[in-house]
Chains A and B, each alone.
Chain A
Amino acid sequence: MRKYFQIFKTHWQSSFIYRLNFIMWRVRTILQFFGVYFLWLAIFIGQDSVFDYSKSVMLTYVIGTAILRSFVFSSRSVSVGVEIANGDLNNYLVKPLSYLKNWLARDLADKLLNIIFLTVELFLIVLIIKPPIVAPISFSHLAIFFFAVILAMMMYFLFSFLISSFTFWYPEHNGWPLRFFIFMIIEFLAGGLFPLDILPAVAFKIFRFLPPAYLVFYPIQIYLGRLDFSQIVSTILIMLAWLLVLYKLSRIVWKKGLKIYGAYGR
């Protein structure tokens, strides 16, 4: 355990070196947020409710997804593909170290850094644009929401790791083409731009069982109190099931990949 804590710390130290990089990334996140926020604000002009969402609930949804996206979708494991393609993976494979846990530790470090900055940013945003934010309907909803977010982060991490593992078979361009294709779809299906339940009923019926819906959409639904007790239970169960599937799958693919690994770069 201690070794992964050390990786966590080393990752932090290394992150602080690139101050400018870091600031630019934060600004990008904020701009992205403003884009979606003002779009929805415009839609609500002259009406109080759209698609069964009141203005304040929708704007809370938008702010919530912005926070969750910068959180859940911020996996450093994109580098896994690069390290497979250029052979840097060798450095880890010769050591008594789990490569998966190594990246989990680095991801956690990254996310903790996010929380700190996010808190400051959120404070400023609330101060400046005074958005109508809906409070969670109860403390237990808030607690379950946090639990769901942790599961969502794990799901995304494993999924990202799984996609990167395919670089063993297609090392060209560090595995980016596949990654780009898949993650465009995920962004859409996760409900980052709009709530999934405003889609046509048929589409929603399909998408609600796919993993992306559990990354952003469902956790926020829990926060907003739009799910009843049995729906919350089934949501958490489905998330746990997907988590297990993703874990098993990523392990299998990783092991198969290692057998054909070329350990390139000399």
Chain B
Amino acid sequence: MPAISVTNLKKYYQVYKKEPGLSGSIKSLFNRKHEDVKAVNNISFSINEGELVGFIGPNGAGKTTTLKVLSGLLYPTSGQVSVLGFTPFDRQPEFQKQFSLVMGQKNQLWWDLPALDSFILNREIYEIPPVQFDKTLKNLVTMLDLKDVIKIQVRKLSLGQRMKCELVAALLHSPKVLFLDEPTIGLDVVMQKKIRDFIKQYNQKYQATIILTSHYMDDVKELCDRVIIIDNGQIFFDGALDKIIKKYADKKILEVTFSGPVVKKDFSIIKAAKIKHFNPPRVVFSVKRRSANQVAAKLLTKFSVADLNITESSIEDIIRQVFTGRDLS
């Protein structure tokens, strides 16, 4: 049985529209135009235990809404949702003790108290046996290098320290399912990397099922074997990350450094290659996947080449292409 299964999930919001300016405000006092926003529009997927899946998509695509439905915060407009065999919106304590939601821009820690006080509160709320609590806390504190930090008032902590403490608070009850919404937002690269490593470690160590949303492609690239791309409330792609590359990136990138002088015209003999950047002696070509080797061979025989490198299009480029529908080359 999958840990998470979602079938034909829809979540519509009603919002009211106001014309700009004071006259619009006055008009809206008497006549409000309501409109449905289709935040999530008929999506289905299922996730197995121990999987680490990345949700990606532009702002407002419906990622967070989906996570909120899975956490039981939002009542679905229609469709079936099951997490660990529970219906999230019923909010049964047995379910709540087995999952956690971490939102990068919201905090659960008590602002005026040291994080440790919030941890102890969670110990009682989740009814964690003291022995297990001490062990888990010690473990998490070591993994995240937080030894002295947890005794300092939360308001005095740096963003990175606070985020780590938030993660600890969310993991004290050893959840089997973890929803991470932008856990690395606003953090510097070093801290991003640390959080990322920690998530990976946690996933492997505890076989936890994790859904992660992030705007940083590095997070997704490094952590998730499988991604679900959401756009406009619908699933655009669901599968292995390298499959997107195969499916949408039909081009390869050839980076060549020439040892002699070259001009653009020289390359007109190689029909299959399109010039992406021309900055002699370095020239970058975009080439159809299947003719990449041929082109490389031709370049090597016809020109004097100092260095040649064949790479995949970057995942960022592919995602951008997917969302904008534009051709990369």
Contacts and interface: CB of A to CB of B under 8 A. Distances in A.
Nearest to B108: A91
Q: Tell me which of B72, B106, B123 has the highest count of chain A C-beta atoms within 10 A of its own C-beta.
A: B106
A87 B127 contact: no
Nearest to B182: A266
A260 B12 CA distance: 10
B100 A13 contact: no
A237 interface: no
Given A10-B117, A14-B112, A263 B126 contact: no
A266 B105 CA distance: 8
A258 B75 contact: yes
Given A262-B13, A266-B64, A95 B126 contact: yes
A102 to B, nearest CB: 9
A260 B13 CA distance: 9
A96 B72 contact: no
B181 interface: yes
Nearest to A11: B110
B125 A90 contact: no
B17 to A, nearest CB: 15
A96 B101 contact: no
A7 B103 CA distance: 22
Given A2-B124, A3-B127, A14-B112, A91 B74 contact: no
Contacts of A88: 106
A13 B122 CA distance: 16
Contact of A96 (B68, B97, B121): B97
A113 B204 CA distance: 47
B73 A261 contact: yes
Interface in B59-80: 64, 68, 71-75
A5 B73 CA distance: 25
Contacts of A96: 93, 96-97, 125-127
A10 B121 contact: yes
A contact residues, range: 20 to 34
Contact of B101 (A7, A10, A90, A258): A90
A5 B121 CA distance: 10
B120 interface: yes
Interface in A199-246: none
Given A262-B13, A265-B106, A266-B106, A95 B113 contact: no
B147 interface: no
B112 A94 contact: no
B124 A3 contact: yes
A260 B34 CA distance: 15
Interface string B86-126: 00000101001101110101101010110001101111111
A261 B99 CA distance: 21
A98 to B, nearest CB: 10
Contacts of B72: 93-94
B125 A97 contact: yes
Nearest to A3: B124
Nearest to A260: B75
Interface in A106-153: none
Contact of B121 (A6, A17, A87, A259): A6
Contact of B73 (A2, A17, A18, A93): A93
Contacts of A7: 121, 124
A238 B154 CA distance: 46
Contacts of A90: 68, 71, 73, 101, 103, 106
Contacts of B121: 3, 6-7, 10
Nearest to A7: B121
Contacts of A17: 112-113
A91 B71 contact: no
A263 B68 contact: yes
20 contacts: A3-B127, A10-B110, A18-B112, A90-B101, A93-B71, A93-B91, A94-B71, A94-B72, A94-B73, A95-B125, A95-B126, A96-B125, A258-B75, A260-B75, A261-B74, A261-B75, A262-B13, A265-B105, A265-B106, A266-B105
Given A2-B127, A93-B73, 19 more contacts: A2-B124, A3-B121, A3-B127, A10-B110, A13-B117, A14-B110, A17-B112, A18-B112, A90-B71, A90-B73, A91-B108, A93-B72, A93-B91, A94-B100, A95-B122, A96-B127, A262-B74, A263-B73, A266-B103
